[in-house]
Structure 1
Amino acid sequence: MSVQFSGWEVVDDGASFPGVELQPSQKPQNRGVYTMYHGTSVASARIIIANGFKPSSSGMLGRGVYVSRDIKKAAHYPLNSNITDRMVFKLHVRVGRVKRIDKDNHPMQYTWSAHGYDTAWVPPQCGLKAVRSGLEEDCVFDPKRVKVVGIAKAPNATIQKELQQLISKTSSRPGSGGDAAADVCSLCKRKTQKGAPHIKQKCWECGQKICILMSKHFCPAKP
Structure 2
Amino acid sequence: MSVQFSGWEVIDDGASFPGLELNSSQKPRSRGVYTMYHGTSIKSARVIIANGFKQSSDGMLGMGVYVSRNIKKASGYPLLCSPTDRVVLQLHVRVGRVKRIDKDNHPMQKTWHSHGYDTAWVPPNIGLLAVRSGLEEDCVFDPKRVKLVGIAKAPNDSIQKELKGLIKSSGRGGAGAAEVCSLCKRKTQQGAPHIKQKCWECGKNICILMSKHLCPAKP
Q: Specify whether residues 106 and 167 from structure 1 end up closer, same or farther in structure 2 by C-alpha distance, changes over 3 A only.
A: same
Matched, 1:103 2:103: yes
Letter paired with 1:108: M
C-alpha distance after superposition, 1:48-88 (max 9, x if no partner): 00001111010000000000000000000011211100010
Hey, what does 2:209 align to over in structure 1? none
- Post-superposition shift, 1:16? 1.1
CA distance in 1 between partners of 2:49 and 2:172 (Å): 12
Hey, what does 1:28 align to over in structure 2? 28
Hey, what does 1:196 align to over in structure 2? none
Over 2 Å off, 4+ runs: none
Matches within 5 A, 1:22-171: 22-171=22-171
2:161 match: secondary structure? helix
CA distance in 2 between partners of 1:102 and 1:21 (Å): 21
CA distance in 1 between partners of 2:144 and 2:170 (Å): 14
Q: Specify whether residues 120 and 172 from structure 1 end up closer, same or farther in structure 2 by C-alpha distance, changes over 3 A only.
A: closer
CA distance in 1 between partners of 2:171 and 2:30 (Å): 26
CA distance in 2 between partners of 1:144 and 1:168 (Å): 19
CA distance in 1 between partners of 2:115 and 2:172 (Å): 36
- Counting aligned pairs with the same residue, the percent is 76
1:66 match: secondary structure? strand
CA distance in 2 between partners of 1:94 and 1:129 (Å): 28
CA distance in 1 between partners of 2:22 and 2:170 (Å): 27
Does the 8 A contact of 1:104 with 1:128 survive in 2?
Answer: yes
Taking structure 2 as the reference length, the TM-score comes to 0.72
- Post-superposition shift, 1:172? 6.6
1:54 match: secondary structure? coil
Letter paired with 2:90: K
- Post-superposition shift, 1:19? 0.0
Hey, what does 2:198 align to over in structure 1? none
CA distance in 2 between partners of 1:161 and 1:54 (Å): 24
CA distance in 2 between partners of 1:115 and 1:169 (Å): 38
CA distance in 2 between partners of 1:135 and 1:75 (Å): 12
RMSD: 1.4
Does the 8 A contact of 2:89 with 2:150 survive in 1?
Answer: yes
CA distance in 2 between partners of 1:14 and 1:74 (Å): 21
- Post-superposition shift, 1:120? 0.1
Letter paired with 1:141: F
Does the 8 A contact of 2:14 with 2:20 survive in 1?
Answer: no
Q: Specify whether residues 94 and 168 from structure 1 end up closer, same or farther in structure 2 by C-alpha distance, changes over 3 A only.
A: same
Does the 8 A contact of 2:49 with 2:172 survive in 1?
Answer: no
